[in-house]
Amino acid sequence: MRADLVRLGFQMNKRESSRTEQYADSLHTDANRHTHTRVAELQPRRRATVIGTITSMIIRPRSGVPALEVEIQDGSGKVTCIWLGQRSIYAITPGRDIEVTGMMMLSEEGWLSYNPVYRLFPNTK
């Protein structure tokens, strides 16, 4: 068991620890192979990583569940990221640069990604 997880008061059984480590390893491997995709070059129902600037945020219920919708522009287009069950996510604000990775879908409203993994860049603006 990892010492830092015990120190935080979180304990995992052996199977959960193994699964967590495998997932972290797979993300690391994918990050080394994966390149960023411009919104104009996205393909429907494919996993992609997009870097852009947050241009708007809306809290909108979807099927009775709160959802945070964040629009990201990269200069070639926009993608809307939707985090279900969230009213806000700390430090995600308009004007902030962000990297999102997830399954990209094309809808009538444009490109969508549900619950993507994200990474915020330092706020230098």
The CATH code of domain 39-120 reads 2.40.50.140
Determine contact, residues 45/113, Cβ cutoff 8 Å.
no
Please name the residue that has the structure tokens 């990269």: 74
| Model pLDDT, residue 27 | 41
The per-residue pLDDT string of the chain (125 residues; one tens digit each, 9 = 90 and over) reads 333 333 333 344 445 445 545 544 444 444 444 578 999 999 999 999 999 999 999 998 878 889 999 999 998 999 999 999 999 999 999 989 999 999 999 999 999 999 999 999 887 65
- Residue 66 amino acid letter: P
What's the predicted TM-score (pTM) here?
0.70
Q: Determine the distance from the C-alpha atom of residue 125 to the mean position of all C-alpha atoms in its chain, rounded to a whole number.
A: 21
Specify whether the CB–CB gap between 31 and 47 falls below 8 A.
Answer: no
The sign of the CA dihedral 26, 31, 32, 37 is: positive
Q: Where are the domains of the chain?
A: 3-33, 39-120
Instruction: Give dist(CA 73, CA 53) in Å, integer.
Output: 5
